[in-house]
Amino acid sequence: MSVNIEKNDENIIIHIDKISLISSIILQNTLAWVAKLEWQLGDKKEFYMAEDILLSESFEEYKNITQEVLDFSFKHEEFQDIVFPVSLLVSAKILVHKDSITSCITLASMVEIHEVRNIISDIKNTLTQENISFLFSDTPLINQVKLKKFIVENYGQDADEDEIWLFQWIEAHEKIAIIFEGDFDNQIVTSLLFKNLSINALSVDECIDMVEDMDNSDKDVLFKLSLWERKKWDILPYEFWHASLSIELRLDFAHYITLKNIFPYFWVLQDSLPLLGYDYPDTLLKEENEKIKASFDELLTQITVFAQKISHQEKHLMVYLGTGAHLVRTTFELNPIELVRFFEYDFKENILKEIQMELYKEFKKLSPIFARYIRVQI
C-alpha cells in the first residue's frame, strides 16, 4: 500500500494504491459529507494480505477459502461480479477541500479496521512531509471506542455458536423497512406554506398548525399544483427538500455497490459482511446452471460457517471474507426529491426493481397523497 498527495489552491487529492475494496467502500461511506472517494479495480487480481491477516491463527484457512473464491470466479466468468471477494485490492482517490482535511482525517480515524488505521497514519505522515497543516485530536476516536464498548456490553447479545444464519432465499418484504417514520405529506405541505406565506411572516409552528387543520383534499390541491404537469426529470420545487425518509435494506453486497453508486447519499453499512448468509444471482437460478449452483452453495456456505466461527476472536479477519453474493444490512436516507428519482429510476437488475416496488408500497402508506404523483417504473 502506498499514499501520494497532490494539492492545488482549493483541494487536496489523496491517492491510495492497494487498499481492499471493503475498506474503500467503508471510507467512501464515512467521508460522504466531507470528501469524495472514488475507487477502481485494477487488471491484476490481488487480495489484502497485510500483517494483521498473516499473523492470524486462521490465516491458512482464510487463504484457502480466498483461493477457492478466486478459482470459482475464473472458472465461471459470467458470475465474477457476484462472487468477487471484498478483500480485492483497488486503487482509491480521495478529493477533499483543504478546509475539510481535519474533518476528513478525524472521521476516517474512527473506522475500526486496522487497514484503514494504517492508511490514515500514512496520510498524516505524508501531509506533514508536504507541509500541509491540519489539526487532529484523539478525543473523537477515544469517545467512539468508549461508546462502542458500552453499547456492546449493555445491549449486545451472545451469538448461538450452533446457529449458522443462512438466508439463501428471503422474501421481498423482508429486504426493506422504513425507519424513523413521519407524516411525509404534512412535512411537505408545511414547507410549501412556510415558503409561500413569507409575506405573513408565519413561523414553522404556525404552518404546522394550519396543516393539521387541513383536509386531505386541500393538501391534494397543493401537490397537484406542484407536480401534476411535471415532465420526466423536471426539477421539483425546492420546498420538497424539507422531509426525509430513512430506509433499512438487506441485499447482497454487489447490488449494494450498484445502488450506492447510482444514489451516492449517506449510507451506514454494518461490517458483519458474511454472517447474514448470501443470495443467488438471477442467472444462477436457470436450470442449465444447476451444477454450478451446487458448487456456489458449497463455497458460500463454507465462507459463512467460517465467518461464524471466527466472528469474535478474529473479527479483523472476518471483515475480508465476504463476497459480492453475501448479504449486508445497510441504511440510507432520502429526501422527497431524491425519493422521486429513486422511484422513477429504470433499474436493470431484478433485485433492485423488487426493492424499488416494495419500498413504494410502504411509502404509499406513509405518504398517500404525494405517492400518487410519482411515476413508478413498472
Q: Which among 64-78, 156-170, 231-245 has the top mean pLDDT? A: 64-78
Whether 157 shows a pLDDT value over 80: the answer reads no
pLDDT in tens, 364-374: 998 999 999 99
257 and 198 inside one domain: yes
131 and 212 inside one domain: no
139 and 206 inside one domain: no
| pLDDT for res 138 | 77
SS3 38: strand
Within a domain: 79: no
Within a domain: 293: no
**CA separation for the pair 249, 354 (Å, rounded):** 12
| pLDDT for res 159 | 53
For the chain, percent helix, then strand, then coil, each to nearest 5? 55, 15, 30
* Residue 74, C-alpha cell as written in the block: 475464473
Whether 24 shows a pLDDT value over 90: the answer reads yes
Find out whether 338 and 264 touch, Cβ atoms under 8 Å. Answer: no
Whether 160 shows a pLDDT value over 70: the answer reads no
Find out whether 246 and 179 touch, Cβ atoms under 8 Å. Answer: yes
Q: How many residues does the chain have?
A: 378
Domains in the chain, number: 2
198 and 126 inside one domain: no
**CA separation for the pair 300, 279 (Å, rounded):** 9
Nearest to 36 by CA among 53, 13, 17, 18: 13
Q: What is the CATH number for 353? A: 3.30.1360.170
152 and 172 inside one domain: no
Nearest to 12 by CA among 113, 117, 124: 124
Within a domain: 303: no
Dihedrals φ, ψ of 98, to 5°? -60, -30
131 and 178 inside one domain: no
**CA separation for the pair 87, 297 (Å, rounded):** 20
| pLDDT for res 357 | 92
Instruction: Identify the domain containing residue 163 by its residue range.
Output: 157-279+325-378
| pLDDT for res 378 | 63
Q: State the average pLDDT over residues 198-221.
A: 91
Nearest to 166 by CA among 270, 302, 295, 321: 302
133 and 215 inside one domain: no
151 and 195 inside one domain: no
Within a domain: 75: no
| pLDDT for res 190 | 93
- The model's confidence at residue 174, banded by pLDDT at 50, 70 and 90, is low
Q: State the average pLDDT over residues 329-343.
A: 90
107 and 6 inside one domain: yes
Residue with grid cell 507541509, as numbered in its chain: 131
DSSP tag of 169: S
Find out whether 354 and 174 touch, Cβ atoms under 8 Å. Answer: no
In the chain, the percentage of residues whose pLDDT exceeds 90 is 26
From 156, 172, 202, the end of a domain falls on 156
Q: State the average pLDDT over residues 33-42.
A: 88
**CA separation for the pair 291, 307 (Å, rounded):** 25
Amino acid (1-letter code) at residue 171 = E
Within a domain: 274: yes
Nearest to 183 by CA among 341, 368, 356: 368
Q: State the average pLDDT over residues 162-191.
A: 70
Q: What is the mean pLDDT of the chain?
A: 85
149 and 124 inside one domain: yes
Among 25-29, 58-62, 168-172, name the one with the lowest average pLDDT. Answer: 168-172
| pLDDT for res 167 | 46
207 and 143 inside one domain: no
Dihedrals φ, ψ of 153, to 5°? -70, -30
pLDDT higher at 145 or 253 = 253
DSSP string, 308-342: HHHTTTTHHHHTT--BTTBEEEEEEEE-HHHHHHH
Within a domain: 31: yes
- The model's confidence at residue 168, banded by pLDDT at 50, 70 and 90, is very low
